[in-house]
Structure 1
Amino acid sequence: MKKTKSQEIRLGLFVIISTILFVLAVYLIGQKKNMFKKTFTISSYFQNVHGLQKGNNVRYSGINIGTVKDIEMVNDSTIKVDMSVEEKITSYIKKNAIATIGSDGLVGNMIVNILPGTGYDDVIANGDIIQSYSKIGAEDILSTLSVSTENAAILTSDLLKITTAMIKGKGTLALLLNDTIMAKDLRHSITNLQTASQSASNTLNEINQIVTSLRTNKSTVLGMLLNDSISGKKIKSTVKNLETSSKEMETMLFNINTAVNDFNKSKGTYNYIVKDTSLVKDLKSTLKNINEGTDKFNQNMEALKHNFLTRSYFRKLERQEKRELKKLEQ
């Protein structure tokens, strides 16, 4: 059966449209996978990728710059994520950039966000590894909320036990709340404290009045000392003179002690007289001889007075002494 011309046209249109659709699909897929663009690979290590998959977008400051190339489990706590990024973005990404994992909207796919680092650093190169930052995920938040809820339940249960015990009158706090006698004692104590405070205030007022009267009344000795500046100056001058005298006495005592030490340490006449025992003995012997000589001289003089040769001379001396005494008496 021969094909009509219309059927051939339809077949040709189908082939053309199919070819165009295939090319568009390949182009779109390649565009998404960066198959027709020059790319380079960077990596980062995470502890949790939160469901990130191959082919998810990579963004830099909110702009799509590539896709997730590979996800590799390094060990039980480290996951390596390789990212294919457009080469033309190289001049904008620095080595101190930080990679984080987030979601595309509230319920969208997981994506890798690359954030600019602080400060100046070199431009990133192919195969470099950048730092990562793990955000708190929804699972972590739910786990924290679960623990907080359990703690709140335990706390509520304990508070219920405490309030029940207080209502039944158990414990010191319940005793304070329910004992009326202790409440009266506390009120009485508070009243006494108020009375004591009032008395103290009155006493302070009286002291202030006394001080004011001393300052204004100059007739008393204390008031004069407080208000008379001349007396204050005299007292200060007296104290200063006493301090000066004390210093002079200290200086004099120091000089005396120095002189005594010099005498004791010196080898002069003083040390010779005080410490030489042979000199002392000689002095004693000399004094003894002088006393004996004086005694003998007195005896000789007494003998001369009674000697007939010199007796007239001594009598003449006595008469002259008597005349001089009479003249003095007249």
Structure 2
Amino acid sequence: MVTKAQKFRLGIFIFFASILLIIFLVMVAGNQFMQQKDIYYVNYQDTSVNGLQIGGAVKYYGLDIGRVEDIKISKEDINNVIVKISIKEGTPIKSDMKAQLIAVGITGLKQIELIGGTNQAETLEPGDFIKPGKSTLDNITGKAEIVAAKLELVLTNLAKMTNEENRIKLSRILTNTDSLIHQNRQSFTNMMTNLDSTSLYLAKFMKNSNLAMDKFNTLLRSPELQNII
């Protein structure tokens, strides 16, 4: 059975543990709130931001440099979505940078990746708008459009090759070829016969030559010729 002393010690332990946990949370939250951040905006026009959430990461070359603070529809144009992002204070944001929507894994979530930027470009001030970049879907769509254009060109050329005029020309070529073969069929037959006769003659000639060489070799090896030599 639990005594009063044990209950008292347990209560003291829980009390101090709670105090320490509260202090830790206050320190972490305070650090987040006290950290100075620069605010920028991105205006995505006619672009879906599905998967982008408040608190989502903002990265540059894979480094976490900020987070998404707010997402809302523009009051001036309902086709525009204004994304408010906070960047670590002092982070240089150049005018030629673009805020591209990047998919995170296969979860459907998205984050903002700042791409581009040169040292020579003007540095944006906090509160300025960062140019929007193309989303991954836009890049895929762009490549698909290029492929479709090339396919259309191939089909157009194929249609030109198979139009009525070219079909007539091809038919004439085939007719002329067939006529040529028909007219010279006997000549081709005679030519093949002559080739066969020539082949037989050459075969007999080679056979006789081999027999003559065998007789000559036999003569060279004969004892009579050896004695003469």
Normalised by the shorter chain, which TM-score bucket? 0.5 to 0.7
Q: How many residues align?
A: 164
1 or 2, which has the higher strand percentage?
Answer: 2
| Conserved? CA contact 1:100–1:134, under 8 Å | yes
Distance 1:138 1:120, change over 3 A: closer
| Conserved? CA contact 1:40–1:85, under 8 Å | yes
| Alignment partner, residue 199 of structure 2 | none
**TM-score normalised to the size of structure 2?**
0.55
* Greater RCO, 1 or 2 (C-alpha within 8 Å, sep 6+): 2
Q: 1:107 offset after TM fit, Å?
A: 3.6
Distance 1:120 1:136, change over 3 A: same
| Alignment partner, residue 130 of structure 2 | 130
CA offsets 1:211-241 (integer angstroms, 9 cap, x no match)? xxxxxxxxxxxxxxxxxxxxxxxxxxxxxxx
1 or 2, which has the higher helix percentage?
Answer: 1
Stretches of structure 1 that go unaligned for 5 or more consecutive residues are 156-161, 163-170, 190-330
Q: Percent identity?
A: 22
Residue identity matched to 2:94: K
Residue identity matched to 1:133: G
| Alignment partner, residue 97 of structure 1 | 97
| Conserved? CA contact 1:61–1:116, under 8 Å | no
| Alignment partner, residue 86 of structure 2 | 84
Q: Secondary structure at the match of 2:136?
A: coil
| Conserved? CA contact 2:58–2:64, under 8 Å | yes
The residue correspondences of 1:193-232 to structure 2 (distance < 5 A) are none
Q: 1:125 offset after TM fit, Å?
A: 2.0
Distance 1:185 1:136, change over 3 A: farther
Distance 1:184 1:83, change over 3 A: same
The residue correspondences of 1:44-83 to structure 2 (distance < 5 A) are 44-47=42-45, 48=47, 49-74=49-74, 75-83=77-85
Distance in 2 of aligned mates of 1:138 and 1:85: 26
Distance 1:27 1:174, change over 3 A: farther
**TM-score normalised to the size of structure 1?**
0.40
Indicate the RMSD between aligned Cα atoms, in angstroms: 4.1
| Alignment partner, residue 253 of structure 1 | none
| Conserved? CA contact 2:43–2:82, under 8 Å | yes
Q: 1:174 offset after TM fit, Å?
A: 9.7
